[in-house]
């Protein structure tokens, strides 16, 4: 079966060379039992490729199952995949077969494989190497003949570097890699997909088909489509239902396109978790710098007042209150460079000031961060959730910082 016949059979729309190359690789590998790793952004259509491989293989009459690893809780994924024995854990009232036992002789598609726990990855590696697994709560080895196809939208090489994915499992799964191109790299297919979706929704909702003018077409061609085909389909459905005017212009279309990533310019993509942590760290540092600046300005103000030689009773009280608060709040973080002696109101004030210049304290950001975290933990008696809320950072970031600064004791 050639690529064109495969596209017609599985309802694939598009003539992009990158897409057709991925389909051709799937066609060629289908006649083997090699494991396949499919990579691509979320919403790009990765789920159709395991079906192509299974339906064109000798296992096409065997069972096929798709498992979303990210949707199964960590505590139950071993039971779901490998089964369990009666009484092996709370709620296990009877023995149960797992997917690898049920799909024996067929194909199992493991979507979002990067979300699989490390302990489960070790079990999966054994299946790939020897075709053997053990049910949860059992010691009996069970054989299975299952072809494994995995997919992910995560960069697994980076996950390996961060210790979140096993390197040996990666090379076992990646016997044949298939990369599904994002929609923004398939510009010639965008209009075709829009027309197909518009026609389908017109039939579904019994209404005229929506069409786009030239400006609207240019707009969707230059949009980055972070959600890929899934996003295009959802927007087409929204417009089909909501808009009474069936000829869509650019102004109307803009209302349905999120304003993020509208530019065609390249963007620097980073791990979402890293972006969150970086933002929180920047905020914390900014607060520290602003705190130092404010204290310096206040000290300058006090020094200017003292130079006048006389201060009213009200000003004396304000100065005394400021200095008292200054000592209480910042005693461990900043050193005072004045030694101020205040007498009773309505009397002459004698002052001894070590003031050749306003002293700029040196500030180690890491040390200040460590001290702030330590104070927050002491304030809430080790309750990390409250401490993280006080610091304005996520609880995960707080745990990482505690390990980094050795504050667990």
Please, is 210 exposed, middle or buried when counting C-beta atoms within 10 Å of its C-beta (0-12, 13-18, 19+)? buried
CB 135 within 8 A of CB 85: yes
Beta-carbon neighbour count of residue 87 at 10 Å?
Answer: 12
Q: Do domains 3-181 and 184-254 have the same CATH topology?
A: no
Beta-carbon neighbour count of residue 280 at 10 Å?
Answer: 18
CB 51 within 8 A of CB 44: no
**Could you state, in order of their start, the residue ranges of all structural domains in the chain?**
3-181, 184-254, 272-404
> What is residue 237's predicted lDDT score, i.e. its pLDDT?
95
Average pLDDT across the chain, whole number: 82
Give the residue from 133, 115, 114 showing the smallest Cα distance to 125.
Answer: 133
> What is residue 329's predicted lDDT score, i.e. its pLDDT?
52
Segment among 50-64, 273-287, 351-365 with least mean pLDDT: 351-365
For the chain, the straight-line distance linking the first and the last C-alpha, in angstroms and rounded, comes to: 65
* Phi-psi sector, 152: left (phi>0), alpha (psi -120 to 50), beta: beta
> What is residue 198's predicted lDDT score, i.e. its pLDDT?
96
Task: Provide the token pair at 206.
Answer: 């019994």
Task: Work out the average pLDDT over 364-388.
Answer: 81
Percentage helix, strand, coil, to 5, in the chain? 50, 10, 40
* Domain at 184-254: CATH code: 1.10.8.60
CB 148 within 8 A of CB 11: no
Taking CA atoms, 75 is separated from 78, 99, 117, 202, in Å, by: 7, 16, 9, 44
Q: What is the pLDDT of residues 190-228, one digit of tens each?
A: 999 999 999 999 999 999 999 999 999 999 999 999 999
Q: What is the pLDDT of residues 154-195, one digit of tens each?
A: 999 999 999 999 999 999 999 999 999 999 999 999 999 999
> What is residue 273's predicted lDDT score, i.e. its pLDDT?
45
CA–CA separation, 363 and 348 (whole Å): 37
Where does 153-223 show beta strands of DSSP type E? 176-179, 211-212
> What is residue 162's predicted lDDT score, i.e. its pLDDT?
93
Task: Work out the average pLDDT over 284-305.
Answer: 69
CB 152 within 8 A of CB 47: no
What sign results for the dihedral spanned by CA atoms 47, 162, 118, 387?
Answer: negative
pLDDT at 252 over 50: yes
State the pTM of this model: 0.63
* Domain at 3-181: CATH code: 3.40.50.300
Q: How confident is the model at residue 337 (pLDDT cuts 50, 70, 90)?
A: very low
> What is residue 281's predicted lDDT score, i.e. its pLDDT?
56
pLDDT at 344 over 60: no
Would you give the DSSP letter of residue 305?
H
């Amino acid at each position: 079966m050639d690529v064109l016949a495969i596209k017609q059979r599985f309802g694939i729309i598009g003539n992009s060379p990158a897409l057709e190359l991925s389909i051709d690789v799937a066609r060629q590998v289908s006649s083997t039992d090699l494991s396949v790793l499919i990579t691509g952004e979320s919403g790009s259509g990765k789920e159709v490729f395991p079906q192509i491989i299974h339906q064109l293989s000798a296992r096409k009459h065997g069972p096929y199952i798709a498992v979303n690893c990210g949707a199964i809780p960590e505590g139950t994924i071993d039971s779901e995949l490998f089964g369990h024995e009666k009484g092996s854990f709370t709620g296990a009232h009877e023995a149960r077969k797992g997917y690898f036992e049920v799909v024996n002789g067929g194909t199992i598609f493991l979507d979002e494989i990067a979300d699989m726990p490390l302990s489960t990855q070790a079990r999966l590696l054994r299946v790939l190497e020897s075709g053997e697994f053990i049910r949860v709560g059992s010691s009996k080895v069970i054989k299975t003949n299952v072809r494994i196809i995995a997919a992910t939208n995560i960069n697994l090489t980076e996950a390996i570097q961060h210790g979140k994915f096993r390197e040996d499992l990666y090379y076992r799964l990646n016997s044949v890699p298939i990369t599904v191109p994002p929609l923004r790299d398939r510009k010639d297919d965008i209009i075709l997909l829009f027309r197909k979706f518009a026609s389908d929704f017109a039939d579904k909702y019994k209404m005229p088909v929506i069409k786009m003018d030239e400006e609207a077409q240019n707009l969707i061609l230059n949009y980055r489509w972070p959600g890929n085909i899934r996003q295009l389909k959802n927007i087409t459905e929204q417009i089909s239902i909501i808009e009474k005017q069936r000829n869509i212009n650019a102004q109307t279309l803009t209302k349905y396109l999120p304003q993020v990533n509208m530019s065609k310019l390249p963007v620097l993509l980073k791990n979402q978790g890293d972006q969150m942590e970086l933002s929180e760290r920047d905020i914390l540092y900014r607060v520290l710098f602003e705190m130092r600046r404010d204290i310096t300005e206040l000290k300058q103000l006090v020094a200017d007042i003292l130079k006048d030689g006389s201060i009213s009773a009200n000003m004396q009280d304000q100065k005394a209150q400021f200095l008292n608060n200054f000592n209480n709040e910042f005693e461990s973080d900043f050193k005072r460079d004045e030694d101020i002696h205040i007498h009773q109101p309505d009397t002459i004030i004698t002052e001894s000031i070590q003031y050749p210049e306003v002293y700029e304290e040196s500030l180690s950001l890491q040390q200040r961060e460590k001290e702030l975290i330590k104070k927050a933990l002491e304030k809430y008696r080790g309750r990390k959730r409250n401490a993280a809320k006080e610091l304005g950072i996520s609880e995960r970031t707080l745990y990482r910082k505690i390990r980094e600064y050795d504050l667990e004791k």
